[in-house]
Amino acid sequence: MKNTPFDLTGKVAVVTGSSRGIGRSSAELLAKLGAKVVISSRKADACKEVADGINAAGGDAIVIPCNIARKDEVEALISGATKHYGKIDILVCNAAVNPYYGPLLDITDEAFDKIMGSNVRSNIWLSALAIPQMAERGNGSVVIISSIGGLRGSTVIGAYGISKAADFALCRSLAGEWGPKGVRVNCIAPGLVKTDFARALWEDEAFLERRTATTPLRRIGEPDEIAGAVAYLASDASSFMTGQTIVIDGGVTTAAV
**Model pLDDT, residue 254:** 93
Residue 196, in any domain of the structure: no
**Model pLDDT, residue 75:** 98
Please name which of 170, 186, 163 lies closest in space to residue 244, comparing C-alpha atoms. Answer: 186
Q: What is the DSSP string of 24-82?
A: HHHHHHHHHTT-EEEEE-S-HHHHHHHHHHHHHTT-EEEE----TT-HHHHHHHHHHHH
Residue 257, in any domain of the structure: no
**Model pLDDT, residue 97:** 95
Residue 128, in any domain of the structure: yes
Residue 248, in any domain of the structure: no
Residue 23, in any domain of the structure: yes
Domain that holds residue 95: 12-191+222-243
**pLDDT tens, the chain, 257 aa long:** 468 999 999 999 999 999 999 999 999 999 999 999 999 999 999 999 999 999 999 999 999 999 999 999 999 999 999 999 999 999 999 999 999 999 999 999 999 999 999 999 999 999 999 999 999 999 999 999 999 999 999 998 999 999 999 999 999 999 999 999 999 999 999 999 877 776 676 677 787 788 888 899 999 899 999 999 999 999 999 999 999 999 999 999 997 66
- Residue from 85, 100, 101, 160 carrying the catalytic annotation: 160
Tell me, what CATH number does 64's domain have?
Answer: 3.40.50.720
| Measured distance between the N- and C-terminal CA atoms of the chain, rounded to whole angstroms | 49
Please name which of 13, 35, 163 lies closest in space to residue 92, comparing C-alpha atoms. Answer: 13
pTM listed for this prediction: 0.95
Paired residues of 157 in beta bridges: 102
Paired residues of 254 in beta bridges: none
Amino acid letter, residue 12: V
Residue 211, in any domain of the structure: no
Residue 59, in any domain of the structure: yes
Residue 232 is a catalytic residue: no
Total domain count, the chain: 1
